[in-house]
Structure 1
Amino acid sequence: MEPITFKVGDLSKRTGLSIRTLHYYDEIKLLSPSHRTESGYRVYGKEDIIRLQQIIALKQIGLSLEDVRSCLDNSDRTFIEVLQLHIAKVRKQIDLSQQLLERLENVEQTVANLDVIPIEEILQIIQVMDMLENYYSPEQLEILKQRQELLGEERMQQAKVDWETLIAQVQAEMEKGTDPASEVVQVLVRRRQALIQEFTGGDPELESALKQMYEQGEDSVSDWGENDASLAAYMSRALQC
């Protein structure tokens, strides 16, 4: 019986992970195809699929990619132990969801019966919702928070200053009419990319999510985008050079 194997495109379709992400995992030696077809194509086998599940589970638990690698390569943690960690997190999510549901139902009954909005209960609902957001928000948001903790408050504050300075410099070049392809602007582009790289840890999914969240106007990343439309267009042209 032929072993079950997947090319990168097939694995992407079956898991929902982007090809870019799988290539990145391969590039950093976190997960590489361990089999080859007769024609020489590298393909993922059963053991690779199991490792991929562990990678995703550990990321959802809250580990950085480097910590995931360390956990999988330098520990005796078994597949079942990783599953148990993931199960514990999901159970916590379920518990919080149940708490939220009960509180929402209580508020609904109070408003329906007494025509009074219970502010104390609303405050508790907000608290539970905030806790849930930390679990249920997109995985990239969780990683963003981890990166903030890893970099530390002092570095984050300095990065914000560096970013604001950078944006002001780009704004000045735009107002002077400097060609986005010029070396002076390209130096600023490279500095911009370095700051984003530091903030995201080089995670391609996170960089993509950061861009998407900025485009959707998320407040959580507003400090990392160019809020002025003309400045954003100018930077977009510079990035394409």
Structure 2
Amino acid sequence: MKQYSVRQLAKMAGVSVRTLHLYDQVGLLKPSVRTEAKYRMYGEKELFRLQQILFYKELDFSLQAIKSILDKPDFDLVQALESHKTELQNRQSRIADLLLTIDKTMLKLKGEIMLTHEELYEGFPNEKAEAYRKEAIAAYGKEPVEKSENHLRAAGKKGFETLKAEQQEITQTLLSLMKEDPKSVRVQEQIACHYANIRQFWGTAGTADPQAEAYSGLGELYVNDERFTTIDGKPNPDYAHFMRDAMRFFAETHLT
């Protein structure tokens, strides 16, 4: 079994040698072996324990509390990792919200006018725009809809226009590929771009949840509601079915 010196372990974990010495002194992380020259050596078991120590420190546990948790006879490493993952995902979501708030504040301080509801649904008559918004809230809930709207507002008018232009370009490319197998490499490459663009509109880009079900469900919506795949004022059911199949395959193979 491979052994690591205190310096090697410190470098791998991104901590100082002094920190590892402290963990040894307080009984939190003992080396697996001490050589005759009194060098500390660490094995795989110690590597996993150090990983847990660093996770709990990231969650603001004291060294004493961490030692108490790790020394419990019934401590379950897999369960602990699942707990860490959940907590870090929650933190990621909170940080994303804070970053959005910062972006909005910066835009306001710079004097850029925020997008109105009408601008967010530009291209639809006012009554239709409001109807679409109510439909979205009924289908997905008020919080996801407002999160999407706030994300787009934070992007500002220029960012919003760039995002719409990108979506139109992706749509034109996918229209040109309609005769191909939805599972083909070329189609799936463009669907990956479509997915990334949609996540920008949803305000969820970079979040831990890949939203496989939501993205696949959007493909079904394309088929069930012709408004979403109307091209130049005309419904395009062939394109809707093509998109549904391509998006479903992408969700099944890349997002789960």
Q: Please, what TM-score do these two structures have when normalized by structure 2?
A: 0.39
| Structure ID, larger Rg | 2
The structure with higher relative contact order (CA 8 Å, sep 6+) is 1
Higher helix share: 1
- TM score, norm. by length of structure 1: 0.41
